[in-house]
Amino acid sequence: MISILITAAAALPSSLVKRAYMDCSSAPYCGVLVLETGNGSGNYNHPAPTVHGLWPETNNYGSSGCMNGDSSAQIPTVSCYTDYSFQEHEWTAHGVCAANDPNTFFNTVCNLSSAPLQLMANLSNQVSSIDDMASQMTSNGYPVFHIDYNNAQIELSVCAGSDGVWQIADVSQFNNVCNY
């Protein structure tokens, strides 16, 4: 199986195989919406695609600013996560930089991931590889920024303007979509 992934990965643009630095351009915030296919191993193996999280691309990953949310704030239970301890991790590791409060963060994650996860679920029995799924996601208008082959995840590019509202957008469109 490893040779199949390496062979498949070799045909993809290098930016999808090796995580590229994300330049937010004039958008104050940018990052990735990480979606698990369910075809990974361990915690990444489950019957249906699910959301992993929204990760601002800061420091070595990109030029995104950070919103500096309260890491000790009460975390709500939301429907797009089934493991509350994982939710806590997502808030403290990524959410505090992506939103001012956990309610906003988790509502954003659930809302942004709903439609692409539905597409992934529909595609899961029709495609034979994560490459095919990523290609179909792109064909359906979703900007695939990176494919995480180790954990079978697809990362979509997202940005937010100064209002902190995250949107799915291609990196090339950050200036048009999130420049305010």
Task: Give 47-100 pLDDT, tens digit per residue.
Answer: 999 999 999 999 999 999 999 999 999 999 999 998 999 999 999 999 999 999
Question: What are 160's two structure tokens?
Answer: 């937010």
- 151 touches 34 (CB < 8 A): no
Question: What are 71's two structure tokens?
Answer: 């890491």
Q: How far apart are CA 52 and CA 148, in angstroms?
A: 12
In this structure, the number of other CB atoms found within 10 A of the CB of residue 29 comes to: 27
Q: How far apart are CA 59 and CA 54, in angstroms?
A: 16
> What's the pLDDT score for residue 13?
56
Task: Give 26-35 pLDDT, tens digit per residue.
Answer: 999 999 999 9
Task: Give 103-160 pLDDT, tens digit per residue.
Answer: 999 999 999 999 999 999 999 999 999 999 999 999 999 999 999 999 999 999 999 9
Output the pTM of the full model.
Answer: 0.91
> What's the pLDDT score for residue 7?
31
Question: pLDDT class for 17, splitting at 50, 70, 90?
Answer: low
Q: How far apart are CA 155 and CA 94, in angstroms?
A: 14
Q: Distances from the Cα of 3 to the Cαs of 9, 10, 33, 135, 148, in angstroms?
A: 10, 11, 27, 20, 16
Task: Give the torsion sign (CA, 63, 14, 123, 87).
Answer: negative
Q: Distances from the Cα of 134 to the Cαs of 60, 67, 79, 101, 164, in angstroms?
A: 24, 30, 25, 31, 27
- Structural domains of the chain, ranges and CATH numbers in brackets: 2-177 (3.90.730)
Q: Distances from the Cα of 133 to the Cαs of 32, 49, 63, 125, in angstroms?
A: 17, 11, 28, 10
